[in-house]
Amino acid sequence: MTGQAVPIAPPTPGRWRAAARARRSPLLLLGGAIVSVSLVLAVVGPAIAPYDPIEPTGDVLVPPPALGDIPSLIAQTIGGSLERPVHWFGTDQTGLDIFSRVLAAPQVDVLIGVAATALALLLGTTLGLLAGYFRGRSAGFIARASDVFQSIPIFVLAMIVVVFTGRSTMAIIVTLAILYTPIYLRLTASEVAAQAARRHVEASRAIGNRELVTAFRHVLPNALTPALVQASVTIGWAILFTAGLTFLGAGVRPPTAEWGGMIASGANLLILGQWWPSLFPGIAISITVFGFAVVGDRLEARFRG
């Protein structure tokens, strides 16, 4: 070692720090891209689909184009010389365009995942705050109730609830939200209990804040990280759960474009060698759930240190 001063890396401005970190973690970058695409499709999916996702085209069980034809078909699509858009993923037994349906499905699957998670986050963090901050008898009751909830075989329960409430998107969202609430409740309650012992919480009381104001303004904002990090993972689960419910016929009603339902309706064609109706939605689910899980996992690793 010489006595020379070691150059110290210049401090990165906050705005660029996130980008710099993402570059160092390609997995997070990939996950982030998948999440972004699925969120965009949840909004614009049906609009950019070449065919109406629930209107039969008349071409029944058209297989996807051969790999060798794809380049020229792309060129023709861009050139606009085709009479009708290509059935990139083929069509199913009722003549629905599978590519359009795969693009349109996030409007159901991702929407349910995001909405259920948002609702669970809201309920779970609020109850968790109350349970963690006011550690009295009612807090104990909230914690025990959530234990009971977590011990129920949730898939079966969800099926029953959704079927009885009319298999609507709303019913699935509410059911999933209630099922996931205990996760957030626990995460938040334990973090709140740790935060509530900090001096600034006593300082808030000392300046004359009401207990509820202290809890929401001075404790909750510092106790949200574990719950927020968990959100991405839960969205992934919820997507899988929705697809699973629909696959079993207990989810959204056909012919709504939904990945699980598409897999189910194509499943009995597999044996006839018609693999495309179920394969493409299957791949779409896998990629999407992987994306949300990776983002959640990386974020969790980061915040755990």
Partner 1 sequence: MTPVLELDGLVKEFPMGRRGGVVHAVNGVSLAIAPGETLGVVGESGSGKSTLGRMALRLLEPTQGRIRFEGQDITRLGGGALRAWRARAQVVFQDPRDALSPRMDVRTLIEEPLRLHTDLDATARLERVVQLLRSVRLDEGYLTRSPRRLSGGEAQRVAIARALATDPTFLVLDEPTSSLDLHVRRSILTLLDTLQQERGLTYLLISHDLHMVAAHADQVAVMYLGRIVETGPAREVFEHPEHPYTQALLSATLSADPTVRPSRILLQGEIPSPIDLPPGCLFASRCPIALDACRTAPPEDRSVGPGHSAACIRIDDRTNRLRTARPAAPRAAALMEASI
Least distance to partner 1, CB of residue 199, Å: 4
| Of the candidates 131, 300, 113, the residue with the CA atom closest to the CA atom of residue 220 | 131
CB closer to partner 1 out of 62 and 201? 201
Tokens of 181: 């609430």
* Minimum gap (Å) between residue 16 Cβ and partner 1: 18
Q: What are the φ/ψ torsions at residue 97 (nearest 5 degrees)?
A: -75, 120
Displacement of CA 272 from its chain's centroid (Å): 33
Contact predicate 54/23, CB 8 Å: no
Q: What's the closest the beta carbon of residue 201 comes to partner 1, in angstroms?
A: 8
Comparison of 14 and 26: residue with beta carbon closer to partner 1: 14
Q: Centre a 10 Å sphere on the Cβ of residue 43 and count the other Cβ atoms it contains.
A: 12
* Tokens matching residue 132: 């963690």
Q: Quick one: 115 or 139, whose CB is closer to partner 1? A: 139
Which lies closer to partner 1 via its Cβ, residue 84 or residue 210?
Answer: 210
CA 283/CA 209 separation, integer angstroms:
53
Minimal distance in Å, beta carbon 216 to partner 1?
Answer: 12
Give the contacts of 107 (CB within 8 A, at least 6 positions apart): 41, 42, 43, 45, 46, 257
What residues make contact with partner 1 under the rule CB under 8 A?
A: 198-200, 202-210, 217-218, 221-222
Q: Which is nearer to partner 1, 167 or 205 (CB)?
A: 205
- Provide the minimum distance between the beta carbon of 300 and partner 1 in the complex, in angstroms, as a whole number: 20
